[in-house]
């Protein structure tokens, strides 16, 4: 069984439901709706397609809404502008046409955030400016690295804290639409502090989803500096290496990825590695060797999930990209099992004492992992309502597969990005019903040894706190 999950992005290349079904069969565990592109109606249609195809396949598949967040872009230019190194350029607030020596930007917080000496990167870092003089509605910058600038190109401010909330008016509207269409989790862009995550929870609650899981996208240096606080406030983390690679020196990205992964692992919070994983498969049938190594490295670092974006959204063969990534993950996990301890994948230096859980709940799950190892159990079955027990088991990285038995369809779907967890719907949470569902679904062969575990926040509830080992 593959432990590391695959998150695919839907887009123009996946409008046919049969493609979505084929990606699920190839190994996709969750689907991402990128609200930076497309309309709400288009995303609602994707969401319906995922639900229909997942039901036909007899699976619960997570649908992740990825909010666009604030977009800092240059204004329109009637013709491409040449910005020559050593020259000055005026940046005016507004959305007027750019002219030689002058560009515009409609993002008001930019003008409150820049100061003299601030670096600006335009068009994915291809052009670099340094701010020279500032005024309330404009600033002058010197071109350090020149180039040709087209319309609506991105602006990055490395190291600066942008004076803007993570949720825009568009995000609030999109969030309400996402809740209405039934998404399972929300990825929040432009996170700079835990307050941004808390604000997203308030917005989700106002939209009618007070328990909506919030996944913080780590794409700004400010977020990296406050990673422990952000991890604590979040239900998941996405390492968005595209913007990080612009805002931070490229050579630091591997270390930053490791730091964020370790922070998430310490707290038992699922983490997704994203951006340009198999980028060449947008146009090619094969990834590069460097991309294969990158994906395998994410497995070695115990990422919960790896995300495909353009590879599936606009790629020439979305299904082949999923098949390829599934094979890379499976081989990387086999290699790791072959060199690691039989007891499982537990990461070196990761303290499970830091996992968010009650003390007795953590002890119960640690005992389940130890018992599964000693008994040679093929699976640990977590009987759960909200999904906390399988998440905690996953954080311990057991060698045995984890089966989350739940009567709640939403809980089953929300576990789609959690390492090593397979969801199973049951008619009830009682142990006899769980045994029956296991055998009926052929998730575990008859005669295998299984560990059953359930935990509750309060002690003294024997029906809700137990650890049982038996042979099916």
| Positions marked catalytic | 32, 73, 217, 275
Largest CA distance in the chain: 77
Per residue, the 3-state secondary structure of the chain, as one string, reads: CCCCEEEEECCHHHCCHHHHHHHHHHCCCEEEEECCCCCHHHHHHHHHHHHHHHHHHCCCCEEEEECCCCCCECCCCCCCEEECCCCEEEEEECCCCCECCEEEECCHHHHHHCCCCCEEEECCCCEEEEEEEEECCEEEEEEEECEEECCCCEEECCCCCCCCCCCCHHHHHHHHHHHHHCCCEEEECCCCCHHHHHHHHHHHHHCCCCCCCEEEEECCHHHHHCHHHHHHHCCEEEEEHHHHHHHCCHHHHHHHHHHHHHHHHHCCCCEEEECCCCHHHHCCCCCCHHHHHHHHHHHHCCCCEEEECHHHHCCCCHHHHHHHHHHHHHHHHHHHHHHCCCCECCCCCCCHHHCCCCHHHHHHHHHHHHHHHHHCCCEEEEECCCCHHHHHHHHCCECCEEEEEECCHHHHHHHHHCCCEEEEECCCCCHHHHHHHHHHCCCCCCCCEEEEEECCCCCCCCCCCEEEEEEC
| CB-CB contact of 32 with 8 (8 Å) | yes
347 burial level (CB within 10 Å; 0-12, 13-18, 19+): middle
**Geometric angle at alpha carbon 440, from 437 and 441, rounded to 5°:** 85
Cα separation of 402 and 386, whole Å? 15
CA 290 to chain centre: 22
């Amino acid at each position: 069984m593959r432990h590391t999950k695959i998150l695919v992005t839907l887009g123009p290349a996946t409008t046919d439901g049969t493609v979505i079904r084929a990606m699920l069969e190839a190994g996709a565990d969750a689907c991402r709706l990128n609200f930076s592109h497309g309309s709400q109606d288009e995303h609602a249609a994707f969401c319906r397609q995922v639900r229909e195809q997942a039901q036909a396949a007899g699976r619960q598949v997570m649908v992740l809404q990825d909010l666009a967040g604030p977009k800092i872009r240059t204004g329109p230019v009637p013709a491409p502008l040449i910005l020559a190194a050593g020259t000055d350029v005026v940046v005016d607030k507004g959305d007027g046409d750019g002219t030689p020596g002058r560009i515009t930007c409609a993002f008001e917080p930019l003008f409150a955030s820049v100061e003299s000496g601030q670096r600006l990167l335009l068009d994915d870092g291809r052009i670099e400016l340094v701010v020279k003089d500032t005024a309330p509605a404009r600033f002058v910058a010197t071109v350090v690295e020149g180039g040709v600038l087209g319309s609506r190109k991105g602006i990055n401010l490395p190291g600066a804290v942008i004076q803007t909330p993570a949720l825009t008016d568009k995000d609030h509207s999109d969030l309400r639409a996402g809740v209405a269409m039934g998404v399972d989790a929300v990825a929040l862009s432009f996170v700079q502090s835990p307050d941004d995550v808390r604000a997203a929870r308030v917005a989700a609650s106002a939209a009618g989803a007070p328990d909506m899981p919030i996944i913080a996208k780590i794409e700004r240096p400010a977020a990296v500096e406050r990673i422990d606080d952000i991890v604590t406030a979040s239900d998941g983390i996405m390492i968005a290496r595209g913007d990080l690679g612009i805002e931070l020196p490229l050579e630091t990205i591997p270390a930053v990825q490791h730091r964020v992964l370790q922070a998430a692992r310490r707290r038992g919070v699922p983490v997704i590695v994203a951006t340009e994983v198999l980028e060449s498969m947008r146009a090619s049938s094969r990834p590069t060797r460097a991309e294969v190594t990158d994906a395998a490295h994410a497995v070695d670092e115990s990422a919960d999930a790896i995300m495909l974006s353009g590879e599936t959204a606009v790629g020439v063969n979305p299904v082949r990209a999923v098949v390829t990534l599934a094979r890379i993950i499976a081989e990387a996990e086999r290699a790791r099992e072959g060199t690691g301890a039989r007891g499982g994948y537990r990461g070196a230096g990761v303290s499970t004492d830091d996992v968010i859980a009650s003390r007795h709940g953590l002890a119960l799950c640690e005992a389940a992992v130890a018992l599964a190892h000693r008994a040679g159990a093929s699976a640990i079955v977590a009987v759960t309502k909200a999904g906390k027990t399988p998440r905690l088991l996953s954080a311990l990285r057991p060698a045995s597969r984890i089966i989350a038995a739940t009567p709640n369809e939403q809980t089953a779907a929300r576990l789609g990005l959690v390492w090593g967890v397979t969801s199973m719907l049951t008619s009830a949470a009682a142990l006899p019903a769980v045994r029956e569902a296991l055998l009926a679904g052929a998730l575990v062969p008859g005669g295998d040894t299984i560990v059953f575990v359930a935990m509750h926040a309060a002690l003294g509830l024997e029906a809700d706190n137990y650890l049982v080992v038996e042979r099916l």
